[in-house]
Amino acid sequence: METRYLGESGLEVSVIGLGCNNFGGRLDESRTESVVSAAIDSGITLFDTADIYGGDGRSEIFLGKALTGRRDEVVIATKFAGPMGDLPMQKGGSRRYILNAVEDSLRRLGTDYIDLYQMHFPDLNTPLDETMRALDDLVRDGKVRYIGHSNFTGWMIAHAHHLAREHSLTPFISAQNHYHLLNREVEPDVQPACTKFGLGILPYFPLASGLLTGKYRKGQPRPEGARLTSGPMADRMLTDQNMDKAELLLDWSESRGHSLLELAFSWLAQQPAVASVIAGATSVEQVEANVDAANWILTSEELTEIEDMLR
């Protein structure tokens, strides 16, 4: 498994990371352990979770138990700021909330430090310098090694960079944003900001919630029990335009002896500033498929052909 430095830091992560959103929800403790073990054995080092995943912190709990005896082999990335209850003080980026949230995550994960602590969502009601000063204290205390954010815009990334430089605070080294072949919203501002200020991008939903796996075809029944079988996300993703693009990409990749899944991962891994592609898995077989997918190195001519198709 290839590893890359995360932004301009010295933290190395595997080019394919494991998203842990299924832990505590679709996966029980036993199946979580199997998936985590397979991921480590396959070379994955980055495990991305959040306090809100699985409900009541179960994703962190299951991940911590699955990593028993193997903590030193991995990079644990978790998140704060999402709602952990109905009260006003149970979310956000205030100093009070962060100092409580990190202790809860450390306890659930069964560790005394978090490798990458990420702000899950921007908190527009709390000054960003308050958030960053609290995170800086956690780094200085040794409870957190590096900090990142998720769902920030380009101007927020620039603002955070200048705050860190002006006040000698720990800078963010990663940006986790929605990014895949059919969603390019990071490219106008987030990607240039990350390149300029030295952050590594960690794309989430790389398979467009399953649309880029090749199992959804126009005119065919949707797979039973899949994420896009029904519901508002299915209506949002399975548009005629998206389906047409996905089928073009499927035919193109298969004509070269590869799957659409391989194309989705490989294309992302070759985009500017991308350090690791975060993907979930519910089985050992999915872990192995995700790992193998990153082995396809697209040529410049192939990348151009892909842009022409999507355009």
Would you please indicate which residues are annotated as catalytic (active-site) residues? 53
Spatial distance between the Cα atoms of 36 and 23, rounded to a whole number of angstroms: 10
The answer to whether 249 and 186 are in contact (CB under 8 A) is no
The answer to whether 274 and 266 are in contact (CB under 8 A) is no
Q: Which two tokens stand for residue 308?
A: 């022409």
**Of 119, 114, 115, 92, the residue nearest 104 (C-alpha):** 114
Spatial distance between the Cα atoms of 214 and 212, rounded to a whole number of angstroms: 6
Which residue do the tokens 């077989």 mark? 285
Q: Following DSSP, what letter does each residue of 18-46 receive, concatenated?
A: EE-TTBTTTB-HHHHHHHHHHHHHTT--E
**Of 287, 289, 294, 202, the residue nearest 27 (C-alpha):** 287
Spatial distance between the Cα atoms of 147 and 306, rounded to a whole number of angstroms: 34
The answer to whether 35 and 27 are in contact (CB under 8 A) is yes
Element (H, E) at 177: strand 172-178
CA 250 to chain centre: 24
